[in-house]
Amino acid sequence: MILEKIEQLLQEAKNMTAENAEQVEELRLKYLSKKGALNDLMTEFRDVPPEQKKEVGIKINELKQLVSARINELKAQCETKDNTDEGIDLTRTAYPTKLGTRHPLTIVRNEIINIFGRMGFSLAEGPEVEDDLHVFTKLNFAADHPARDMQDTFFVETNNTDVTKNILLRTHTSSVQVHVMETMQPPIRVICPGRVYRNEAISARAHCFFHQIEGLYIDKNVSFTDLKQVLLTFAREMFGNDTKIRLRPSYFPFTEPSAEMDISCNICGGKGCAFCKHTGWVEILGCGMVDPNVLDACGIDSKTYTGYAFGLGVERITNLKYQVSDLRLFSENDIRFLEEFNAAGV
């Protein structure tokens, strides 16, 4: 009779379930308390014939271990479930945690990268501490070019007898393009975002560091028409389908021919306002066909391949998009300014 009770209790123990801590406690009282089933079995055990005591004792001990293990398991499950379902974290502060947002420069940077990414440009990045060879020499800068002067460039180490050994903070992300051209063969289609540094006085319109995104495309039969179409597509994706562009002749050591690109003012629609100085146009980037000297310096045959390059300032595009009048606001970490962009991007 007692063996039958033990078998029945063993089956009950194997099938025990509980939804919460209260039900677990009820099971513990039912089986393990002084008035529980196991205590009743120990009372009956006294009357078991001597020849059966060993067998019955083993069964009771097995039952006790199973019930204890099962109750502990259910208790752990309920504790985990309670913490998960109710979201209770006793280590959290009692004060509400405010959600942040991405920095406006990051929002615009990501948008620019996405636009060019949809046109087939991949991402390339490089070091901010560079050498003269990649920042100037291989980009067709003459040895006496003004950009090498301390007024424009932050030099870390200088060797006046050999400019190629000068170490400096990059003044543009074109240095990344040089690294790409040194390690890859055409077709090449990349954009190079990053922070750059120039020794300029800090004001509402200028800073000693800012952010650029430069693009490079090299392949056979690349023309200025290809460049114009890519830039027109970018401008309309960034500022709207009604945006117009114009290209004005300019000069850059690493491109020939070179141009600066303006867009129709996105504030007045090209009619003229204080922002565009009543011209209806706003400059946003420089561009041009890659100079053959640059291709040859980087190990690419300029007789077989041609290419175009362009570069734009992220702060400049952000100013146009959000009409921020002072560049210094981007780096001052003023929470009041940053909170204005909560709805701009995540």
Radius of gyration for the chain, computed over Cα atoms and rounded to the nearest angstrom: 36
Over residues 32-77, the pLDDT tens digits come to 887 788 777 777 777 778 887 788 778 878 878 888 888 888 888 8
What is the structure's pLDDT at 84?
A: 56
What is the structure's pLDDT at 83?
A: 57
Count the Cβ atoms, other than its own, within 10 Å of residue 297.
Answer: 19
What is the structure's pLDDT at 146?
A: 81
* Distance, CA of 255 to CA of 61 (rounded, Å): 88
Q: CA distances (Å), 217 to each of 183, 260, 300, in order? A: 15, 18, 13
pLDDT surpassing 80 at residue 6: no
What is the structure's pLDDT at 7?
A: 81
pLDDT surpassing 90 at residue 305: yes
Element (H, E) at 257: strand 255-264
* Distance, CA of 38 to CA of 60 (rounded, Å): 8
pLDDT surpassing 60 at residue 85: no
pLDDT surpassing 60 at residue 346: no
Q: How many CA atoms lie within 13 A of 299 on its CB side?
A: 10
What is the structure's pLDDT at 163?
A: 67
* Distance, CA of 285 to CA of 311 (rounded, Å): 6
* Distance, CA of 101 to CA of 340 (rounded, Å): 10
Mean pLDDT, the chain, rounded, equals 85
What is the structure's pLDDT at 251?
A: 92
At residue 207, φ and ψ (nearest 5 deg) are -145, 160
Q: What three-state secondary structure class fits 166?
A: coil
Over residues 105-133, the pLDDT tens digits come to 999 999 999 999 999 999 999 999 999 89
Tokens found for residue 188: 């090449």
- What average pLDDT score do residues 204-209 get? 81
* Distance, CA of 84 to CA of 89 (rounded, Å): 9
pLDDT surpassing 90 at residue 285: yes
pLDDT surpassing 80 at residue 215: yes
What is the structure's pLDDT at 204?
A: 74
Over residues 254-273, the pLDDT tens digits come to 999 999 999 998 777 778 77
What is the structure's pLDDT at 88?
A: 66
- What average pLDDT score do residues 14-27 get? 82
What's CA 207's distance to the chain center, in Å? 24
* Contact by Cβ (8 Å): 173, 126: yes
Instruction: Give the residue, 221 or 336, on which the prediction is more confident.
Output: 221
What is the structure's pLDDT at 12?
A: 81
pTM (2 d.p.): 0.68
- What average pLDDT score do residues 80-85 get? 60
- The size of the chain, in residues, is 346
Kindly tell me the burial class for residue 143, based on how many C-beta atoms sit within 10 Å of its own C-beta (0-12, 13-18, 19 or more). Answer: exposed
Q: What three-state secondary structure class fits 211?
A: strand
Q: In percent, how much of the chain has pLDDT > 70?
A: 94
Long-range contacts: 333-340, Cβ < 8 Å, 24+? Answer: 338/100, 338/101, 338/103, 338/104, 339/101
Element (H, E) at 223: none
pLDDT surpassing 70 at residue 9: yes
What is the structure's pLDDT at 72?
A: 85
* Contact by Cβ (8 Å): 166, 281: no
* Contact by Cβ (8 Å): 266, 320: yes
Confidence of residue 157 (pLDDT cuts 50, 70, 90): confident
Give the 3-state DSSP-derived string for 83-138, with helices as H, strands as E and coil as C.
Answer: HHHHCCCCCCCCCCCCCCCCCHHHHHHHHHHHHHHHCCCEECCCCCEEEHHHHCHH
- What average pLDDT score do residues 181-199 get? 93
Q: What three-state secondary structure class fits 343?
A: coil
Tokens found for residue 249: 């002749």
* Contact by Cβ (8 Å): 342, 322: no
Q: What DSSP character marks residue 34?
A: T
pLDDT surpassing 90 at residue 175: yes
DSSP strand pairing (255-264 vs 245-252): antiparallel
- Picking from 53, 83, 44, 60, the residue whose alpha carbon sits closest to that of residue 10 is 60
